[in-house]
Amino acid sequence: MDYQTALGSLFTPEGRDDPYPAYDVIRAHAPFFQALDGRWFVTSHELVSRLLREPGLRAADAADYDGFWPGWRENRGVASIVLSMLQTNPPDHTRVRRAAAATFTARRVAGMRDVIAAQATELIESMPARADFMSAFAYPLPIGVICALLGIPDADRPWFRQRAADLTVVLEPISTEEEMRLADVAGRELEDYFTGLVAARRRAPREDLTSALAENGDLTGAELLANLVLLLVAGFETTTNLLGTGLRILLERPEQAARLRAGPELAPAFVEEILRYDSPVQLAARFAAAPLDVDGVRIKPGSELTLLLGAANRDPARYPDPHRFDPDRPGIQPVSFGGGAHYCLGAPLARLEAQVAFPLLLAMRPDLRLAGEPERRDRLVLRGYTTLPVATS
């Protein structure tokens, strides 16, 4: 397969199903190169890591969207993500990120351990002998945890789950008209919900993240809403995919599952290797703000760069024998959470959820096994399953 064919395959259902052979071909072609449509693709671990931190590269922000899609504000799903910190650049990004980081602290995340364990235990206890792991566990856990953090009542969780799922599609480069319509509706409904929640917390603050963010005077009203929606959406399907992908990896490797069951303290290394081996987020996009020199190659202002996180994580120059799952490999530092200014704000929470969930699942359901062919969600950016059939005897 030549590299052009390999690159094209990533935009087909078959290529998305298993993009790793194509990544190998395009990485072997070059650590970065310009495709026929003018976009640059970056494949090596070293260069992806470096460019994530490159100040000359920016996220596409509201001003960029005004240029290439004047009507974007009318789709409230798109608008909530574009107005969030994910698609904002300095100086606004610096201010908003600082406010969010000051409330979403390591202490607050560490304080969630018992809540995560309690929710995970309840879900495992109520999982039937034959179940779809995605709907029984991988979807409800992250939504339950983020709702607890934001102070959203338990009864509203299913409602949030559907809205978050509908909105997530805006993170993909390709979507249907109907998907975009649902994202718009979800955006409107979430904005309304958070407007009410913020007003309630301003009247009577609680110990939750919504109260803390609402009290922070550094955010405008629109920024507050957009970033509350982002916290819900950014941490939802991503963490769901980490749980589903990770469980499949473990159940297909009983000897590794047995090691983790016997030594739950191995969980951090296992979770890092799961993140590396099959990243829940496969790419990050950036634009050159000004002419940029990358290893002697001139990149024109306005050029789009696609940083292939999934390809970087399987770069043999960084990880020998990269297609082998090996939690004992030294120095696992996947780029699955991005890097630089936009480094995932929720990484400690996602890691904690997975580190708590896998040992609990293996301990409480020692005979858990795969019970049918998992079905992948056909997406390029967010990689995971729609169904993962499991069984216990």
Site for ligand HEM in 90-149 (CB under 6 A): 97, 146
Closest CA to 115 of 352, 276, 364: 352
Residues in contact with ligand HEM, counted by CB under 6 A, come to a total of 24
Residue 33 corresponds to which amino acid?
F
The structure tokens listed for 177 are 């008209």
Q: Do the Cβ atoms of 61 and 85 come closer than 8 Å?
A: no
Interacting residues with ligand HEM between 273 and 292 (CB under 6 A) = 280-281, 284
Tell me the closest approach of the beta carbon of residue 214 to ligand HEM, in angstroms.
Answer: 17
Closer by beta carbon to ligand HEM, 59 or else 82: 59
183 forms part of the interface with ligand HEM (CB under 6 A): no
Least Å distance, CB 146 to ligand HEM, is 5
Q: Verify binding: residue 349, ligand HEM, rule CB under 6 A.
A: yes
User: Which residue is closest to ligand HEM by CB?
Assistant: 346
CA 145 to chain centroid, in Å, comes to 15
- Please report whether residue 238 would count as binding ligand HEM according to CB under 6 A: yes
- 346 binds ligand HEM, rule: CB under 6 A: yes
Q: What is the DSSP string of 210-235?
A: HHHHHH-TTS-HHHHHHHHHHHHHHT
Query: Which member of 230, 266, 288, 292 binds ligand HEM (CB under 6 A)?
Result: 230
The one among 119, 168, 239, 355 contacting ligand HEM by CB under 6 A? 239
Binding residue (CB under 6 A) for ligand HEM from 19, 140, 338, 384? 338
Asked if 86 is part of the footprint of ligand HEM (rule: CB under 6 A), the reply reads yes
Distance of closest approach, residue 264 Cβ to ligand HEM, in angstroms: 19
345 binds ligand HEM (CB under 6 A): yes
* CB closer to ligand HEM out of 336 and 355: 336
Neighbour tally for 331: CB within 10 Å: 7
255: buried, middle or exposed (CB in 10 Å: 19+, 13-18, 0-12)?
exposed
Q: For residues 342 and 388, what is the distance between their CA atoms, to the nearest angstrom?
A: 31
* DSSP E strands, the chain: 32-34, 40-42, 57-58, 130-132, 283-288, 292-294, 297-299, 304-308, 369-370, 375-376, 385-387, 389-391
The answer to whether 337 contacts ligand HEM (rule: CB under 6 A) is yes
Among 127, 170, 344, 380, binds ligand HEM (CB under 6 A): 344
The CA distance from 337 to 257, in Å, is: 24
Tokens describing residue 312: 């970087």
- Mark 196-215 as b/e (b = at least 16 C-beta within 10 Å): ebbeebeeeeeebbbbbbbe
Residue of the chain from 235, 244, 310, 322 that contacts ligand HEM (CB under 6 A): 235
Residue ranges binding ligand HEM (CB under 6 A): 59, 85-86, 97, 146, 230-231, 234-235, 238-239, 242, 280-281, 284, 336-338, 342, 344-346, 349-350
